[in-house]
Structure 1
Amino acid sequence: MQIFPDKFIPTLEREFRGCYLIFGDEPQQKFEILQALRSKAKQQGFTERTVLVADTDFSWNTLLDATQAMSLFADRTLIELELPTGKPGTEGAGLLTDIAANLSPDTLLIIHGPRIGKDVQRTKWFKALDSIGAFTLCYPLEGNALSGWLSRRLQQAGFQFTPGCVKMLADFCEGNLMAGAQEIEKLILAYPDKQIDEQKLSQALVDQSRFNVFQLVDVMLQGDKERCVKMLYRLESEGIEPNIIIWALIREWQTLWNVCQLQQSRQPIVWQKFGIWQNRQGFYQQALKRLNSEQLTRIGDQLTQADFLFKQESVVRPYIKLAHLCLLFAGVPLLHMPLSDTEMAV
């Protein structure tokens, strides 16, 4: 049974299961869910806690022993298992499947790790554990989902606020829920009367928005020019190597080019062949409505040139060139507006 992160704690109060699978790359939601589980487990008498990490040196017999051991000091045991890669491997998968069939009601098993895909959710071990428990996927929030999360957080803190406050807060902490939660905690101390507006908020906030390259690519494919430039600015300030971004742009160009060729030859597009799941297919479709094969050819030439210059470390301000490239993907007609030599090369 899947439980969405914003519904997890209310659901936990109503129903307590023997196993929970918590995956995703959004730390704030994961932290709060794990803390809620630990607190609830303690209330339910799971007073002994065992923490395991399935790294390269991990012995799966350790987990088996933990699920079978009877403590002299506690009737019920909480076992937390971290899967650093999101996958247990062949040996671990078999053992987890067996554990799901024989898990004692006096043992609570929590498994957590990074973002996983549908391939993991379809595995035998995942389904077996889900059948006796529940799973939650904690992914970064954007747009309306982020605004809703912030609004609920402000309401829970007792604030009276305007819609503009939510938008401002979202702009400041986009891609970093932890920063949003911290800023609201600061607001509680700064404004004990719980009355805030845009002016008060602008005085109190520190811009802590954080993005990763994958988010940048999705926004670029959607054609959101303003957000694209903002993300590049933040990535530059965080010291992300330009070569990482140029590699991502080349990879996306190759995918768009291949799909474009299939469309032109009226061949069926098997999205999974390109590693593109249903939730991202629309991004590529949007991009291909803006870009024809001629435009893609020219973008490919620009990428080749930029890749060569970046590898030679002969670009003074590489993020200017990256912005130029991203805006080309977004459909801005810049192909006939090359950057000047002073902006590009030493």
Structure 2
Amino acid sequence: MELRPEQLVAQAGKQPLQPAYLVAGPETLHVLEAADAVRARARADGAEREVFELDGRDIDWDALSASFAAPGLFASRRLLEVRLPSGKPGKVGAEVIAGFCADPPPDTHLMIVADEWSKAHHSGKWVDAVSRRGVVSIAWALKPHELPGWIDRRLRERGLRAAPDAVQGLAERVEGNLLAAAQEIDKLALLAPEGVLDLATMESLVADAARYDVFRLLESSLSGHAAQVRRMLAGLRAEGEQVAGLMPMVIRELLRTAALARAQARGANLAAEMKSQGLWEARQAPFKRALQRHAAPLRWNRFAAYASRIDRAAKGRGPGDAWQLLERLLLAIAEPPATRLLVGTGR
């Protein structure tokens, strides 16, 4: 069956787990919440959870297949979670998933979680097999006109009511970022006075999540959103930010990504490495996408070296327009063909 993420959350809270789940889509918040609902139900049922994710460039499908018939170490019930960022298991993975769905072992549940999903590029017999045996839940990105309604419903779920202009004001501030909207609504649930929230009260309590800051800039670059990078850089410059103030964070994240690239190249568990680097799950997707575009550790080392050049230019110790150099670097990270704009980044 197919369920919207919010329907899956409700179902998992009331009904026994299905044998198989596919939770995917570009709307990160809804993917996280739907997958968390399945995990919570599994915990409540006393199930043991085992996670399979990228090890190098692919999931160990043989290990997953062997695990279907293996007894749990600590519990008779099990949730086997497959983290598949691209949403494409390949031929072997598709056969393993379809084989599970054809004859799922008793008290064993399979959940595939994917970051990327599109109607044009994600389909196949394995998806149909999951749908027949369990639940397919795709978290599509909200359209701009849908955001106020989503915010109003979320506020009501938290016991809050807001005037239409207050809801619209929050929608404009978060610019479609549902994670930011959810965080602000949770904050309002703690801070808001009784009664209907008006626009003035909302503005006094809500942080401006639409502000162009270096964290969102780097996330956009790592995620491959070149147009967003250009827009954010223009916003930062218009707000009077200085490149020198941005570079410590830029250099830190590039060095972090270089370390992840080295770990990936030697076949280490990338998810474990990310956790050791202080990257919680909600922040991992942009780094994974960036490492898919630029897999070579040398490329990231040279990006970091180029960032040092920008830092010197921003402080007047080297040649070049620091804003222009920064834009070239972030676009090169977002779009591999743009690396030709850089000198000495390698291939």
Q: Matched residues in 1 for 2:233 and 2:124: separation?
A: 35
Question: Match of 1:142?
Answer: 143
The structure with the larger Rg is 1
SS in 1 for 2:3: coil
Deviation readout 1:268-314 (Å, 9 max, x if unpaired): xxxxxxxxxxxxxxxxxxxxxxxxxxxxxxxxxxxxxxxxxxxxx98
Shift of 1:117: 2.2
- CA distance in 2 between partners of 1:22 and 1:182 (Å): 22
SS of 1:135 mapped into structure 2? strand
Match of 1:110, SS state, is strand
The superposition leaves residues 88-122 of structure 1 with CA deviations (integer Å, 9 ceiling, x where unpaired) of 11211122121111212311111011122225543
Deviations 1:115-143 (A, max 9, x none): 22225543111111221011122233232
Q: Cα deviation per residue 1:157-178 (whole Å; 9 max; x = unaligned)?
A: 1113100111011011123111
Identify if the C-alpha distance between structure 1 residues 73 and 216 changes in structure 2 by more than 3 Å, giving closer, same or farther: closer
Query: 1:22–1:136: 8 Å Cα contact kept in structure 2?
Result: yes
Question: Does the aligned pair in 2 maintain the 1:188–1:194 contact within 8 Å?
Answer: no
Q: Note if contact 1:54-1:88 (Cα within 8 Å) is conserved in structure 2.
A: no
By how many angstroms is 1:233 displaced?
3.4
How far apart, CA to CA, are the structure 2 residues paired with 1:28 and 1:235? 30
Q: Name the residue aligned to 2:256.
A: none
- In structure 2, the residue corresponding to 1:12 is in which secondary structure? helix
1:120–1:111 CA distance, 2 compared to 1 (3 A): farther
Q: Is the 8 A contact 2:162 2:196 kept in 1?
A: yes
What TM-score does the superposition give when structure 2 sets the normalisation length? Answer: 0.59
Displacement after TM superposition at 1:235 (Å): 11
Alignment CA distance shift 1:151-1:215 (3 Å) = farther
Task: Return the offset for 1:156.
Answer: 1.2
Q: In the alignment, which residue of structure 2 is the partner of 1:31? A: 32
2 CA distance for matches of 1:60 and 1:80?
A: 12
SS of the residue corresponding to residue 35 of structure 2 reads helix
Answer yes or no: is 1:3 the counterpart of 2:3. yes
What displacement does 1:58 show? 3.3
Shift in CA distance, 142/117, structure 1 to aligned 2, threshold 3 Å: closer
2-structure distance, mates of 1:46, 1:84: 27
Task: Specify the alignment match of 1:291 in structure 2.
Answer: none
Question: Is the aligned partner of 1:173 residue 2:174?
Answer: yes
Counterpart of 1:54 in structure 2 is 54
Q: Does 1:129 align with 2:123?
A: no
The letter of the residue matching 2:144 is G
Conservation of the 8 A alpha-carbon contact between 1:216 and 1:232: no
- Secondary structure of 1:80's aligned partner: strand
| 1:35-114 alignment runs, 5 A limit | 35-43=36-44, 45-55=45-55, 56=57, 58-71=59-72, 73-114=74-115
Aligned AA for 1:101?
A: A
Specify whether residues 85 and 72 from structure 1 end up closer, same or farther in structure 2 by C-alpha distance, changes over 3 A only: closer
Q: Deviations over 1:248-285 (max 9, x none)?
A: xxxxxxxxxxxxxxxxxxxxxxxxxxxxxxxxxxxxxx
* TM-score for the superposition, normalised by structure 1: 0.60
Deviation at 1:180, TM superposition (A): 0.8
Distance (Å, rounded) in 2 between the aligned partners of 1:182 and 1:153: 11
Instruction: Work out whether residues 121 and 127 of structure 1, in 8 Å CA contact, stay in contact via their aligned partners in 2.
Output: no
**Counterpart Cα distance in 2 of 1:203 and 1:147:** 19
Partner of 1:253: none
The AA in structure 2 aligned to 1:148 is G
**Does the residue aligned with 2:43 lie in a helix, a strand or coil?**
helix
CA distance in 2, matches of 1:176, 1:114: 15
In the alignment, the residues of structure 1 paired with residue 47 and residue 67 of structure 2 have an alpha-carbon distance, to the nearest angstrom, of 14
Contact 1:67 1:107 in 2 (8 A): yes
Q: RMSD in angstroms over aligned alpha carbons?
A: 3.5
Matched AA of 2:7: K
CA–CA distance in 2 between the matches of 1:184 and 1:58? 37
- Name the aligned partner's letter for residue 152 of structure 1: R
Q: Gaps (5+ residues) in structure 1?
A: 220-227, 242-312, 319-346
Equivalent runs, 1:1-346 vs 2, <5 Å: 1-13=1-13, 15=15, 16-43=17-44, 45-55=45-55, 56=57, 58-71=59-72, 73-193=74-194, 195-209=196-210, 233=235
Question: Aligned with 1:10: secondary structure?
Answer: helix
Residue 74 of structure 1 aligns to which amino acid in structure 2? A
Which letter maps to 1:47? A
Deviations 1:62-100 (Å, cap 9, x if unpaired)? 101221111253121011110122111121112212111
- Check 1:6–1:174 CA distance in 2 against 1; reply closer, same or farther (3 A cut): farther
CA shift, 1:197, in A, is 0.9
Give the whole-Å Cα distance in 2 for the aligned partners of 1:83 and 1:22: 10
Task: Judge which range, 187-196 or 173-182, deviates more.
Answer: 187-196
Identity in percent:
30
Instruction: Report how far residue 19 of structure 1 moved.
Output: 0.9
User: C-alpha separation between the residues in 1 aligned to 2:322 and 2:47?
Assistant: 58
CA drift of 1:60 comes to: 1.1
Q: Partners in 2 of 1:31 and 1:122 — Cα distance?
A: 21
